[in-house]
Each structure stands twice: as structure tokens, then as C-alpha cells.
Chain A
Amino acid sequence: MEALLFNASGGYLEGVLRGFKAGLITQSQYSNLTQCETIDDFRMQLAATDYGTFLANETPPISTSTIADRATNKLVDEFNYIRSNSVQPLTKFLDYMTYAYMIDNVVLLITGTLHERDTHDLLERCHPLGKFETMATLCVATNVEELYTTVLVETPLAPYFRDCLSAQDLDDLNIEIIRNTLYRSYLEDFHAFVLSLGSPTSDIMSPLLSFEADRRSINITINSFGTGLSKDQRAKLFPSMGRLFPEGTSALARADDVDQVKAVLDGVVEYRSFLEGGSSSGGGGGAGANDGGVASLEDHFFQYEVGLNKLAFLQQFQYGVFYSFFKLKEQEIRSLTWIAECIAQDAKDRINDL
């Protein structure tokens, strides 16, 4: 029945969004880009795609971070266009998407303040989609209670902070705990909202959000090996949703090494191959990180996520396409940055590890 009324509020935006999606870089364009010799070449090739002349005003030599910044700005422009033209409940949906970036920004600012970094510098490094007013005043807070009562209570992130007011002081470990607790509350809230929208939005979004929750759980588990994080604390950080919940997450909470994690992942068919490359060290095609096994896990995650996002476009009349498009666009920016880095560093043999 959603087809009957969806177009009244979302039809135009869905059409515009699908137009944007048609402008994502294709396989053949990627192969053209990988054959570029210099960054200027790269820029010329990009000019032929939907990116157009977005780098026109930069003087050479262009650094890869500039490319990433400009591409992100383009993403932000598209997002703002869609958000400004949207009505409820699409507006609320898009706002939920920005909360994830807000959480990252807040944590970035707190960390930076702790380490006495310059506030302007920090503000520039914040992700533009997660900007909100009063962000600058975050820099003066020194502990979570003050943070909450003075600044955050007016932002949409306020309900997510309720769960982590028990964190005592801010230090590096606790920052991550705060970040993960916030993110967990956010994911559960988003999931509840999506389910209230009914099908087909919930049909599309639920697997995407579940996968995100599982990915977080797995990452938290693997990253907490060897740190001082107790198992109870770890268990509290897992979102109570996703395909690994509840048996998988309780098993992950008790896991001590990668093999146990692998045993847990075997329970879900699609996740089984994620840790395959992990047992051999320095797995081929690793994305250049120190730990080849974990890096290829990230690759698997990205691949699976891209697959899910592409599936979202097969259905019309739902909001999942908005979420998927922006995730795909981010992935594209990551790929472009990767290619640009390879060109800049003359490491052409790694260039195909997209």
C-alpha cells in the first residue's frame, strides 16, 4: 500500500536520488582511473564523470586529502539538497543518518580537547554532515556530566548519553567506551524508528542496520583483545540487535581470541568467510594495514555492505535508497582516495585493492 501514497511526499526526491545514483562511478571508469599516471590525469578523468570540475579551483599539486575533502563536500551538498526538500518522516530519517556523524564529531572534539589541541583545527576536521550549533562549546568541557548538562542536552544526541553517564573521567579508553555506547543507543533507536515506518522501508533497512550492529560487535571484540576492557564492559557495548544477537553477542563477550570469534561467525552463513584470511598473516590483497588479517576483515565488511546497499535500489517507494546511496557514495570517496594515494605514492601494484 505504500506505493499509493509514497510519491506524494517522496516521489520527487526518490527520482532525484536515483539520478544521483546513476552518476556513481562505474567499473569502466574505475579502470580508467587506475590507469592514470599522475594526479592531473586523475583530475581530468574525474572531470568526465559526474564529479565534473570539482577540483577546478585547486592549484597543483593537489593532495589526496583535498580530493577527499572536495568529494565529501559534494556529498554534503547533495545530502543537504535532499534534506532541505524533504518532509516528515523522510526528514527524520535523514536526521537519523546525521546522528552517526555527530557522534563521531563529539568524540573527536572531546579527545582533541583532552590532548590540548587547537579548537579551530578540530572543528575543521569534523565531518560536515554532523555539524550542529554549540559544537564549539564542547571544547571547554572536561567531564561527561558537565558535557551533558551544559551542551548536549539540547542536541538530538541527548537521549543517547543517558546510558553512559556512568563513565567517570575522560581518558582514552573511556572515550572509546563512550563512543561505542553512544553509537549503540543510536543504532537501536534508529532501528526502532525504521521498524515503525513499516514495510518496505523496514524490510530494506533492517538488514542494513543489523549488519552494522554485527560489524560493530565484531570490531569491538577483536579490538578489545589485549586491552584492559573487561568482558562485562565489552558486553554492554554490543547493540541488542543484529543477526548475532543474542547468542552470538554473548559468545563474543566471552571470546578470548580470534578463533573463538571465528567460531561465532560460523553461525551466520554470510559472515563465515569474513575471517578466512585472518589465520594467515599478511593475507594477500590486504589494504596495507599492519595486521593483514584484520584489514581483510574490513574489506569483507565493505564488500558485504556494498552488496546490501545495492540491493536497496531494487525496490521503489521506500527510504532505504536514501541511506544506501549515501553509504555507497562514501565508499566511492574512499575508493577514489585510495586510487589517488596509490598514484601519488607510485605504488601502482596496490592500486587494484579496491
Chain B
Amino acid sequence: MSLMGYSYYSTYGIVAYLTTVTISIAALYILFTGDGTQFNPGAFLEQTSPYAFALVGVGLNIGLSVIGAGWGIWVTGSSILGGGVRAPRIRTKNLISIIFCEVVGIYGVIGSIVFSAKLGSSPTQATLYTTANYYTGFSLFWGGLTMGCCNLLCGVAVGISGSNAALADAADPALFVKILVIEVFSSILGLFGLIVGLLVSGKAAEFAVSHIIPWFGIMMGLR
């Protein structure tokens, strides 16, 4: 065991060490060759297109939510399958756990649909890089990231407690409802993520549009 501990540290340690050294060398090089101002986070934020931020946010949202939902489903599902071999009565009742996991994915879809409704097209650089659009881009990014992470962890939590519920139900039917209460609390986490994400992106205006692309406009309820 000590050998394995040593080698684990070594791999992780080497990677961390090399990363730190590389970054330090790059940073010091830039600094000492007089290009220190190249490192400019503010400019990065200003020059990155708000589209990039917004769309990455939407992608993270749905992606992480689905990972959470899927994770929860396979953790719970394998236990239900195993426990159902000897106690077939648990199969139908424990589908509730799977439904709780699935709901997490639905939260992600809802969030993404709401976010994507704020996407529009801006024809020129000038109309794109406005403060309102910056705000939209950032809020969709962080809102999406928040919702995605919340749903990921919620899905995992519901999955693990669902697996416990399945096995406990197989052993003693009276336990199922009690463990279900724990699962309910776990699934509220996803709801928190949804609420916060919607609030964060609630104030974001649509991307400024000067021409309205017909079908997109119809989808958004052309105003």
C-alpha cells in the first residue's frame, strides 16, 4: 500500500510541479521582456465575444445537467436491478428514484430553452460589443454554469440515496418511505439551481438585433 501511495503522489505531484514551473517561466518571460501588459484579463473579457460566453453557458448548463441525471440513474438503476432479483416488488416503487434523477435533466433543458431564447444576432461589431450584450453574455455563462453544477451534484446525490433506498426496500419495505424523504431533500438542490439560474439570467436583455431573422423572430413572438 505504501508503494501505491508513493506512486500516486508522484504522478499528481509531477504534473502539478511541471504546470507551475511552466506557468512561472512563461509569466516571468513576458514580464522581463517588457511585454508585461500583454497579460490583461480585462482586455480578455472585453474582447471575447458575448456570444462565446452565452453559448458556452448554455452548453454547460445542459451538458452538466444531463451528466448529473445520467449518473444518478445508473447508480440507482444497478441497485434496483440487483435488489429486484430476490424482491421483485421493489421494481415499481423505486422508479420514483429514477424519476427524481430524470427531473434534474429536465431542469437543465428548461434552463437552456430559456437561455437560448435570449440569443439573437448582431450584425456589426459595434452593435455586438455593447454593455447590455456584455451583461447578457456573462449572465448566461455564469447562470448556465451555476445551474449545470447544481444539477450535476443533485443528480449524483439523488442517485446515491436512491440506491440506498432500493436496497433498504428490498430488505424491509417499511424503510422505503423514510429514505424517500431524504431523496426529496436531495432533489431540492436541483430546484435551487434552476431558480438561481433563472434569476441571474432574468434581467439579461436579448442580444441587440437590427434585422430580425424571420423564423427566429416568429419563434420568439415577434414584437
Contacts and interface: CB of A to CB of B under 8 A. Distances in A.
Interface of A: 3-4, 7-8, 11-20, 22-23, 192, 195-196, 316
Contact of B86 (A8, A22, A195, A316): A22
9 contacts: A3-B160, A11-B75, A15-B78, A16-B82, A17-B82, A18-B83, A19-B87, A22-B170, A196-B1
Q: Give 5 closest A-B pairs by Cβ, nearest first.
A: A15-B82, A19-B86, A11-B78, A15-B83, A12-B82
B80 A15 contact: yes
Given A22-B86, A22-B87, A196-B4, A15 B167 contact: yes
Contact of A16 (B1, B86, B164): B86
Interface of B: 1, 4, 71, 74-75, 77-87, 156, 160, 163-164, 166-167, 170-171
B171 to A, nearest CB: 6
B163 A316 contact: yes
Given A196-B1, A196-B4, A19 B164 contact: no
Contacts, number: 69
Secondary structure at chain B's binding surface: helix, strand, loop or mixed? helix
A192 B74 contact: no
Contacts of A22: 86-87, 170-171
A77 to B, nearest CB: 14
Contacts of B1: 192, 195-196
Nearest to A23: B86
B75 to A, nearest CB: 5
A14 B79 contact: yes
A301 B178 CA distance: 36
Contact of B79 (A4, A11, A20, A195): A11
A193 B170 CA distance: 31
A11 B85 CA distance: 12
Nearest to A8: B74
A195 B164 CA distance: 25
B6 to A, nearest CB: 13
Given A12-B79, A14-B79, A19-B82, 18 more contacts: A4-B156, A4-B160, A7-B79, A11-B78, A11-B79, A11-B81, A15-B80, A15-B84, A15-B167, A16-B83, A16-B86, A18-B83, A19-B170, A22-B87, A22-B170, A195-B1, A316-B163, A316-B164
Nearest to A316: B164
A202 to B, nearest CB: 9
Contact of B83 (A4, A19, A192, A196): A19
Nearest to B71: A4
A344 B4 CA distance: 55
Contacts of B84: 15
A80 to B, nearest CB: 15
A195 B4 CA distance: 10
A14 B171 CA distance: 13
